[in-house]
Amino acid sequence: MEILIYGAVNSMIFMLLAAGFALVYGVSRIPNFAHGAVYVLVGFLTWSFLNDLKLPYILAILLALVVSALLGLIIYRFVLIRLRGMPTSEIIASFAVSLVILEGLRLQGIAGFKGFIGPFYSLPPFFDAKINVAGVFVDFQRLFILGFGSLILLAIYLFTHYSKAGLKLRAIAQDEQAAMMLGIHPDRTAMLSLAVGSALAGMAAVLVLPLGNLAVEQGYHVLIRALAVCIVGGLGSWAGTILASLVLGYTVIISSTLLGTVWESMVLVGTIILILLLKPSGLLGKQKELEERV
Amino acid sequence: MEMSERRKKRLDRSITVRSRGLYALSSWREMTFLLLPRVALVALLCALPLMLDMYWQRVFCAAATYAMLALAFDFLAQYAGLVCLGLSMFIGLGGYVSGSLNHYWGWPIWVTIPLASVTGAALGTLALVLCLRLRGVYFAIVSFMLPLFLVSFIVATSILGSTEGISSLDYLPNIWVEQYLLVGALLVALFGLRRLMTEDFGIILQAVKDNDQAVKASGIDITAYKIKALFLAALIGSFCGAYLSHLYGWLGLSMFAMDFSILPIAATVMGGMGTLAGPVIGAFVLTPLSEALRGFGQLRVVLYSLILLAFILYKPEGILNYLERKYFQFERWEKV
Amino acid sequence: MTGERILEVTNLWKSFGGVHAMSGVSFDLHKGEVVGIIGPNGAGKTTLVNLLTGFVKPDDGRITFMGERIDGLPPHKIALRGLARTFQVMRPFHTMAAYKNLIVPLNSPRVRKTRSGALGDLDSVAIDILEEIGFERDARVPYKTAGSLPLGYLKRLELARCLALQPVIVLCDEVFSGMSMSEIASMLPLLEKMQMNGITLMMVEHRLRELFKLAGRVMVINFGEKIADGPPAEVMEDPAVKKAYMGAEDRK
């Protein structure tokens, strides 16, 4: 029973982590390696707003989310926009941005910036208590993850299916050239996708970080998890991402319970290898022809 | 419509024009003009170890190692279309295999280094082979993840020295072997790859970039060629790893450090993607720079990344192409 | 003229997301034939070519080439058995010299196996092939960058790429498209020469008049189905074919 609940929570965490990356890739075919960096940055920003500026928690969170969306916009507008169409450069550039942010957070001594090193940082949970669900004690934060996470997913669905901007995103995702012919501006849409994707990373950060510590290393862990979900689920398929989150979320929880948490990476890599062997396009991946199309 | 009043006109230098064609052979000046860049590179590489003191010799070794990694990265990215974000994996594989053979079985270094290069390359290629059939982005993702996975695997299983690593490996015999083995390897790799690119192998890789469907329809198994290209790059990387393990007499988790993955990429972008010699130059520029900034900790990585971004956005041609242009041509403003 | 059966296609089916691109097409090909494949635009002709050459996997059906099944094989393996194709959209390896384009097929295992003894310099083999198909060696045409060649030469280069493989069948996907009548007229002898050298030709075409000069047999594909198969004159009189091309006649 414990596994059932914690597995569900873990799956939701995986889903939230992957959502931003999957959205950006699905719409603009750009692998946003800076995804994990934005996640961590939002975490630290919230912490700063909370502790240095002494803002109320809610305000800190909202402010950080706005900043994350802006960050996504900036990343696209100033870096990626110049590199559209050159996949090699896109990958390298987004990777470099990720490093600037992540390693930059570790800097010490530049203009008095002390750098975020050490295990002293954490974000407080929304409501510090546990509740008994079907015989298992679950802390509220985890329930919030499930609750807010589902809301976020619902919001994404509604946004992409019923709002004008969201429909534009889907159009570009399905067929960029046809969408362009209909007057949809690919660059603006890509900027939107990056803003939304980064905001999703921020939301994930705000929900998940209170569970543990806040450290720069998390940036890489988050990126790995998001990438694992996307590969297993299939790049470009939402259903696949959801399914993969469930698969990976539960597998990790089960293996952690049986073998210990230290094997999580092995489980992830094992699942990836398995998928690449059996169904390279991902569990529900749409692409049949995986090689570059001429 | 208003047009700008002047534009840049680019002309070949007269010596460039004179050096084309067979008659260049008859003139010392033209031959020097043609050969100078290559000779200068080789001469500099061979002469530097003699001129530097011990500290800077170590820096030179580091620079040459990064240069080889940058070569491997450039080769993979431009010629095979594979962006490898985890070069440190090859360093780690080569280093661990070589060090382990030396430590656990006592094999001498002139056996372990070549053996580790090949074994490390084979393991690395095997780890990535599943991605070769898929779109380039998969390769980038998996190559990024693998070094981190290997680290956590070693820590989790506590094998091969776990977090402390293994020390007291055999050292390279003397300082001259240290330096010139690496220089030799670098030159072999550089000129070897260049030569390979003009051979049929390189032509096929180039053709794949132009039109992969036509290559398939011509009966060529593209995946097989990508595997060969990956193995070559992995060989270079593993050799560096094996070399380093015997240079420092130590192997450990730091062999999988991000530094090994990033600096070569920054060096490649800075030096000029696709030129093979450009990344080498980039490495020799960035390594002393990073050495000088050693006291600033993580600033180094941020700096490489910023330099990389600056070049990729504003001067994507890179240093080598820029120099080459200046060398062979001159520019002049001209009224329109 | 025609010999044994070398290609057997049985009941080929392919859908793309609900659209039946190929619905149960079957036919045979005999050695030495020149068969045309015609039909209205979007009828599935290029899909057929892609299915035969392995770029698209069929949902159902069998393709047997020289006695062995090839459906489901990747493109390069099919090419290695001797089934070469040209591409409708011309994209040579444009940064290289024209003759270097042929280095690619000349490096395939098939060529290395069948060319016995002195392979010689692949470069000179490439130039010889180009000369045979009309690239004037004196004018240094083979050395020109492929991207700079005019269309007529590019079409020949595509054919040369196929010929370098020493193929059994060459599938031409609209080779005549974009060329003037005189250009086509100068290409016909080349195709005839290929046929005389024992190569079987299958030509997807829109230019019917020129095609009928070469083809002894013609198949008509419409909406993924084969609606006619026979000598050109017969096929063009077939009412089903007329309907497909011209639309239905007025109802009474």
User: What are the tens digits of pLDDT across the range C130-185?
Assistant: 888 888 777 778 888 888 888 888 888 889 999 988 899 999 988 888 888 888 88
| pLDDT score for A237 | 79
Q: What is the pLDDT of residue B74?
A: 94
For residue C101, what are the contacts with CB-CB under 8 A and spacing of at least 6?
Answer: B207, C92, C93, C126, C146, C157, C160, C161
Cβ pair A121, A62 in contact under 8 A: no
What pLDDT shows up at residue A98?
A: 92
Distance CA A221, CA A203 (A): 17
> What is the domain range of residue C21?
5-91+165-246
Residue contacts between A and B (CB atoms, under 8 Å): 131
d(CA A265, CA A281): 21
**What is the domain-level CATH number for residue C178?**
3.40.50.300
Instruction: Take residue B28 and report the two structure tokens written for it.
Output: 């010392």
Is residue B93 a contact partner of residue B238, using CB atoms and an 8 Å limit?
Answer: yes
| Stronger pLDDT, B265 or A138, i.e. the higher one | B265
Within an 8 Å CB–CB cutoff, is residue C242 touching chain A? Answer: no
Reply yes or no on whether the pLDDT at A114 is more than 70.
no
C-alpha separations of A67 from A25, A81, A135, C77 in Å? 21, 20, 40, 53
The three-state secondary structure class of A133 is strand
> Which of C225, C229, C227, C232 is closest to C243 using CA atoms?
C227
Asked if pLDDT for residue C116 goes beyond 60, the answer is: no
ipTM for this model: 0.86
C114 contact B CB<8A: no
pLDDT digits (tens, 9 = 90+) for B244-260: 998 888 888 888 888 88
User: Is B203 in contact with C104 (Cβ distance < 8 A)?
Assistant: yes
Residue of A32, A218, A221, A263 whose CA lies nearest to A116: A218
pLDDT tens digits, residue range A82-99? 888 788 888 999 999 999
Q: Average of pLDDT values for A221-238? A: 88
* Tokens representing residue A96 in the block: 């470099």
Report how many domains make up chain C.
1
pLDDT in tens, C30-59: 998 899 998 887 778 888 999 999 988 888
Chain A residue numbers touching C57 (CB-CB < 8 A):
288
Answer whether A294 touches C (CB < 8 Å).
Answer: yes
Backbone angles phi, psi at A291, to 5 degrees: -85, 165
The reply to whether C23 falls in a domain is: yes
Burial class (CB in 10 A: 0-12, 13-18, 19+), A236: buried
C-alpha A149/C-alpha B325 separation (Å) is 55
Instruction: Indicate the pairing of strand A136-139 with strand B6-12.
Output: unpaired
- Residues C46/C52/C55/C61 CA torsion (nearest 10 deg): 110
Per-residue model confidence as pLDDT tens digits over C79-90: 999 999 998 887
What distance in Å separates residue A194's CA from the closest CA in chain C? Answer: 30
pLDDT at C2: 59
The answer to whether A72 and A78 have CB atoms below 8 angstroms apart is no
Tens of pLDDT, residue by residue over A58-89, are 888 888 899 999 999 998 888 888 888 788 88
pTM of the entire predicted model: 0.89
Tokens representing A208 are 């998940």
Nearest to B218 among C94, C122, C165 (CB): C165
Is the CB of B27 inside 8 Å of chain C's CB atoms?
A: no
Which of B209, B212, B298, B308 is most worth mutating to test chain A (most A CB atoms within 10 A of its CB)? B298
Residue among A97, A262, A266 whose CB faces B309 most closely = A97
Residue among B162, B305, B317 with most chain A CBs within 10 A, to mutate: B305
Specify whether the CB–CB gap between B81 and B208 falls below 8 A.
yes
Question: Where does the pLDDT of residue A294 fall: very low under 50, low under 70, confident under 90, or very high at 90 and above?
Answer: very low
For A267, which DSSP code?
Answer: H
Q: Which helix (H) or strand (E) element contains residue C63?
A: strand C60-65
Q: What is the mean pLDDT of residues C97-117?
A: 78
> Would an 8 Å CB–CB cutoff place C91 in contact with chain A?
yes
**Residue B152 to residue A231, Cβ atoms within 8 A:** no
Q: Is residue C155 part of a domain?
A: no
Show residues of chain B in contact with A83, CB under 8 Å. Answer: 312-313
Distance CA C55, CA C89 (A): 15
Residue A207, CA distances (Å) to A43, A141, A142, B124, C174 in order: 10, 8, 9, 37, 58
Identify the residue among A33, A76, A81, A103 best suited for mutation to test binding to B, counting B beta carbons within 10 A and taking the highest.
Answer: A103
Residue C104 lies in a domain: no
Alpha-helical segments (H) within chain C? 45-53, 75-81, 98-101, 103-106, 109-114, 122-132, 151-163, 181-196, 208-214, 232-237, 239-246
pLDDT-flagged residues of chain B (< 50): 1
| Alpha carbons A92 and B144: distance in angstroms, whole number | 11
For residue C140, the model assigns a pLDDT of 79
Report the mean per-residue pLDDT for chain A: 83
> Has residue C212 been placed in a domain?
yes
- A258 C-beta neighbours (distance < 10 Å), count: 9
Give the model's pLDDT for residue C1. 46
- Residues on chain B touching C164 (C-beta within 8 angstroms): 218
Query: Is C79 within the bounds of a domain?
Result: yes
> From CA A190, how far away is CA B152, in angstroms rounded?
35
Asked whether the CA dihedral C173, C174, C179, C185 is positive or negative, the reply is: positive
Q: What is the pLDDT of residue B3?
A: 59
Quickly list DSSP for C115-176. Answer: S-S----HHHHHHHHHHHTT--TTTTGGGSBGGGS-HHHHHHHHHHHHHTT--SEEEEESTT
In this prediction, residue B326 carries a pLDDT of 85
Residue A279, Cβ neighbours under 10 Å: how many? 13
Domain assignment present for residue C118? The answer is no
What contacts C201, CB < 8 A, 6 or more positions away?
C33, C34, C35, C169, C170, C172, C191, C194, C195, C214
Quick one: which of A32, A61, A34 has its CA closest to A45? A61
* Nearest CB partner across the interface for C110, out of B204, B217, B219: B219
Distance CA C27, CA C229 (A): 9
Element (H, E) at A247: helix A238-259
